Structure 1
């Protein structure tokens, strides 16, 4: 079992229902978050969780649905929770497919209850809003007992994201090497490395929470546009199996699931995005995965309700690879249109 101490939490409105992390075998249950409503005064939100434990080995936390409109992880983890058997496991696997349960049920990025973006609220608040309580439980009860954390995302409803493992470099060379080993095992076409210092919100995301609790963690971005493809789902499922094998939880995997070579990119600067500066309809010029040069056309915004008005052109300020592209055609001022990343030689830390 994990070399970490078992966590104790003091989150009065949260209880574990139907699952015992120390019991051998497989159990399915819920993280119950008290939430009194007019419809049900003693209601508790049922955040699904599965625990699979067998013999002694590492603890791995697999999590998705932090944003409710990102579906590859939710599907892959739901299938894994049903299919993975204790006999296949050496250690413990915790599976949380709908982490922000209200958002996942609604198919929205943020919670319809309190507007909370779970990936901006770690370490949470024990007596805070519903989403803050979920964050507090995940960090202090789940991540605290995990040796490894895999946090699955995609572009959600509004954007497409190139399929990539995500590594946040914290400045520790050994930790970074272990993160990169997991990313290479995951086997996405790209691995994007961020410096923790590059974005002010990074301290509030799940990967930062995992690091605070001493876990080796990577994320993944696996598509978007509020949909799933057979390719993106297969990549997710195979990547999870390879990571579980890499950390010693699964003894055997199929030879057919060998990882592809991942291309390492850096996105450690806050100025890698192009934002819309007016409302209108966006005509894209490139898609995710395209190589672009400084000055290349990114797209145009058309103000259709102003007859005869010329469109506004947007161009890239740097050379790079397009990692994020807006999917929704309607845009408002301030919407992200594109994000780019750079070659490995620019990656922070130790690449």
Structure 2
């Protein structure tokens, strides 16, 4: 049975959430999407997933906690990265210690969802200025039982790449720093969505549930490739950005990955590859600000 409830955000409308209980005891899987407003594949997938559960008798053990859209104002406004009410990137403020809406949402996640989670899946997609390969970020610092559970899940996911991360200030990464096994799934890009991509996210959810022992029926597993030594390039200033490759394309060491110029066409910086590798995701916006992500690349392990 699906139970609808809300995450209470003081001074604002509650965030829509669902609880689904299985037929037997088992792990609690927390699934969240819509942290960034214009990343639509995840919300589309979770809305479809909830409807699927309502209309079909899903035979599983354990419990699901599902939030299709965590950042509703960003979602309805089609905003790049931020919460409308305070202009903050919700995925960059964990642990939350402020009083604006983004902090209040993050506190609810920390206080209400983290304690219940045996595993957490945070679903993202390329924002309106990003193109990417389907990939999963995982905590490179996880150890022992936490690492074993993460490895068991992510190696069965039908994404293209697995990317190690040292980050600890995002929704999934802060959960990992507290010992909660968590992954960040990326599908989609450029503020677009398709039913096919949403269906692939749903497949990833079932693959996660299978790996956690929550379902017994057969699920087709993926064979993602491991990435090592990822490099993240950011803009040193505002400027006009010209990437030279597309997400998923391979390049050779020393090749120019992109150039940053000013409005007059004068060169600000040229970015060259430090090794043979491939583009994981990149900014495709023509205009960029200081500190904006430009390219993430890596090499297959």
CA distance in 1, matches of 2:233, 2:242: 17
User: Residue 50 in 1 paired to residue 22 in 2?
Assistant: no
CA distance in 1, matches of 2:270, 2:293: 15
Any unmatched runs of 5+ in structure 1? Answer: 1-24, 36-43, 197-201, 345-351
The equivalent residue for 2:223 is: 261
CA distance in 2, matches of 1:331, 1:87: 45
Q: What's the CA shift for 1:299?
A: 2.9
The equivalent residue for 1:295 is: 254
Deviations 1:182-219 (A, max 9, x none): 1122220111112x3xxxxx222112332255422111
CA distance in 2, matches of 1:310, 1:61: 46
The equivalent residue for 1:123 is: 95
Q: 1:311 to 1:219 in 2, by over 3 A?
A: closer
Q: What's the CA shift for 1:340?
A: 0.8
CA distance in 2, matches of 1:267, 1:310: 28
When normalised by structure 2's length, the TM-score is 0.89
Question: Contact between 1:123 and 1:209, CA under 8 Å: does it hold in 2?
Answer: yes
CA distance in 2, matches of 1:230, 1:135: 29
The equivalent residue for 2:36 is: 67
The equivalent residue for 1:319 is: 276
Matches for 1:85-164 after TM superposition, within 5 Å: 85=54, 87-108=58-79, 109-125=81-97, 128-164=99-135
Any unmatched runs of 5+ in structure 2? Answer: none
Q: What's the CA shift for 1:147?
A: 0.5
Matches for 1:187-226 after TM superposition, within 5 Å: 187-194=158-165, 196=166, 202-226=167-191
Q: 3-state DSSP class of the match of 1:112?
A: coil
Question: Contact between 1:323 and 1:339, CA under 8 Å: does it hold in 2?
Answer: yes
Question: Contact between 1:288 and 1:325, CA under 8 Å: does it hold in 2?
Answer: yes
**Root-mean-square deviation (CA), in Å?**
2.4
CA distance in 2, matches of 1:237, 1:32: 27
Question: Contact between 2:261 and 2:267, CA under 8 Å: does it hold in 1?
Answer: yes
User: Residue 181 in 1 paired to residue 138 in 2?
Assistant: no
CA distance in 1, matches of 2:279, 2:85: 34
Match of 2:215 among 250, 273, 286: 250
Q: What's the CA shift for 1:274?
A: 5.3
When normalised by structure 1's length, the TM-score is 0.77
